[in-house]
Structure 1
C-alpha cells in the first residue's frame, strides 16, 4: 500500500511537470497520481499492454495522470500556468 502511494505521488508530480501546470501540492499530486494509476491501468488493459516493475508502473500512472489532468482542464476551462 505504501509503495502504491509513493508511485502515485511520483506520477502526479511528473504529470504536473509534463503538462506545464502548477503543482497541486503533496496531497493533490498524490490524488492525481492515484487516479492516473487507475486510469492508466484501464487504458493499458484496453490496449492489451502491460506495465512491469516500478518504472513501468510509474510510466503507466504518469500517462493516466496526464490524461486525467487534460480532462480536468477541459471540464474546468483552466489553462496551464506558464
Structure 2
C-alpha cells in the first residue's frame, strides 16, 4: 500500500511536469498520480500489455495513467 502511494505520487509529479499547464499543483498532481497509477495498471492489464516488471515498470504505468487522468481533468476544467 505504501509502495503504491509512493510510486503514484512520483508518477503524478512526473505527469504534472510532462503536461505543462495541465497540472493542478503538486498535491493534486500527486493525488491524481495515485489514481492514474490505478488507471494505468488497469489499462495495461486490460490490454494484456506488460511494459516492464518491477519498480520502473510500475512507475511507467503510473506516469502514463496519470497523464491520461490529467488530460481528462484538464479537458473538464476548461469547460
Into which bin does the TM-score normalised by the smaller protein fall?
0.7 to 0.9
Question: RMSD of the alignment, in Å?
Answer: 1.6
The DSSP-based 3-state class of the residue aligned with 2:36 is helix
Give the count of matched residue pairs. 77
Structure 2, unaligned runs of 5 or more = none
**Over 3 Å off, 4+ runs:** none
TM-score normalised by length of structure 2? 0.85
Q: TM-score scaled to structure 1, two decimals?
A: 0.82
5+ residue gaps, structure 1: none
- State the SS of the aligned residue for 1:46: helix
Q: By how many angstroms is 1:29 displaced? A: 2.7
> Which of the two has greater helix per residue?
2
